[in-house]
Structure 1
Amino acid sequence: MAGKSSKKQAHANVQVLKQLYTISGSVLGLLLLRLLFSSKKRWIWIILFHAPAAGCVYMLEKNGRPTYDSAGHVVREGMDLNQKGLTEWMFDIVYLTLFADSGVVVFNTMKFWYIMLLVPVYLGYKIKGIAGPMLGGMNNAKAPSASSTNSTSAAAKSKRQAKREKNADKTRFKYK
């Protein structure tokens, strides 16, 4: 039973990587067949557009692939590839690239690569969501005046704090 969670994590990571390589291998194989007789300019653009996805796949492989010793025991299970955050964003970039590739395969147009313009827009949205309250909080951090002390302390209380203060006056137990 020892190390069951690390074995489970290692198996899940291997399955996720296998699925990623199966999907990307089939789409890239079809893309290579489509581009077999294309111009060199199109090849250069395809290679350039695949650089971010290749970097993401490299990072997912490097950090997510489990390592085993000679007896087959898990030495390092790798990071969880099913977690939220940066790992999820890397998968999104890879899947957007594969979507654009499938558009090139089916319709033989490079216009599907415009979808990759959504990546910086989405990144900016996420950064604004994370850094916005921190930057906005610094601008509003003014010294309160004496007249507004009560209003700022009431506004500063969270719903949980207000509820606790409200329930503090209630009698919880009745003795006979």
Structure 2
Amino acid sequence: MAQKAAKTLAARNASLLVRTHLISAALHALFLVLHWVFNRPRSLTFYVVLACPTLLIEFYLDRLGRPSYNTADGSLRSPGEDLRAAGLTEYMWDILYWTWGCIGAVCVFGDRAWWLWIVVPLYSVWLAYSTFTGMKSGLAGMGGGGGQEQVAAESKRQKKMEKRGGRAQYR
């Protein structure tokens, strides 16, 4: 079976994208039905400002991970990128899931639940800070960061030798 890994990735990406689009469509439809049919106080301004970037992220992930096939014979041309990759893709999924939770909370609790979305920029700031401090401490050993001299870690054997007075003990 040629390209088994590529076919597996294509199938996984396709099923993940279908599930994502169905959940997203259901949540957005629920919000709009609650807004227009039942005249519940839901602010469309918050919805547009906070949900449209998520829709853009969703369509970007679709474009990134959608497998492409040859039209002539139906063979797999490209499986798409791995949608479970770490880094920026993972962060985009986090934003998507959190916004879905916020839309669900707004449907249940009202417009005040949009304040839950403030976690996204706070999380971004925390990630940037932790990345910067991690990079700074990583460069400290090369003389590029921190400005402090790090003492080399001693092994357990060296600590035992110092405890005995620096001499080897024979049995």
TM-score by length of 1: 0.75
Instruction: Tell me the SS of whatever aligns to 2:43.
Output: helix
Runs ≥4 residues deviating over 6 A: none
| Structure 1 residue identity aligned to 2:152 | A
CA distance in 2, matches of 1:56, 1:72: 28
Superposition pairs for residues 1-176 of structure 1, below 5 Å? 1-36=1-36, 42-70=43-71, 71-107=73-109, 109-135=110-136, 137=140, 138-141=144-147, 155-156=151-152, 162=155
Q: How many residues align?
A: 152
Deviates more, 1:29-38 or 1:5-14: 29-38
Separation of aligned partners in 1, 2:63 and 2:126? 28
| Alpha-carbon distance in structure 1 between the residues aligned to 2:24 and 2:2 | 35
Unaligned runs of 5+ residues in structure 2 are 159-171
How far did 1:67 drift? Answer: 0.7
What is the identity percentage for the equivalent residue pairs of Structure 1 and Structure 2? 27
SS at match of 2:49: helix
Residue 156 of structure 1: SS of its match in structure 2?
coil
Aligned partners of 2:13 and 2:86: how far apart in 1?
14
Give the aligned residue type for 1:77: P
CA distance in 1, matches of 2:70, 2:50: 37
Distance 1:63 1:11 in 2: 14
Q: Secondary structure at the match of 1:72?
A: coil
What secondary structure is seen at the aligned counterpart in 2 of 1:75? strand
Which consecutive residues of structure 1, in runs of 5 or more, have no partner in the other structure? 145-151, 166-176
Alpha carbons 1:52, 1:93 under 8 Å: kept: no
Q: Which amino acid aligns with 1:83?
A: A
Task: Find the residue that maps to 2:100 and give its secondary structure.
Answer: helix
The 1-side partners of 2:105 and 2:88 are apart by 26
